[in-house]
Structure 1
Amino acid sequence: MESKGKTTDAQVADQGFNVGTFLQGTKEELGKVVWPSRQQLISESAAVILMVSLSATVIYLVDRLFGWISGQVF
Structure 2
Amino acid sequence: MPKIVDQSGGFYHNFKDDGSVFNGEQRHLVSSCRMVWIFCKAYELYGDDKYLDLAKHGVEYIRSKHWDVLRVLI
Identify whether the pair has TM-score above 0.5, normalized to the shorter chain.
Answer: no
TM-score, structure 2 as length reference: 0.30
- Structure scoring higher RCO (CA < 8 A, sep ≥ 6) equals 2
| More helix by percentage | 1
TM-score, structure 1 as length reference: 0.30
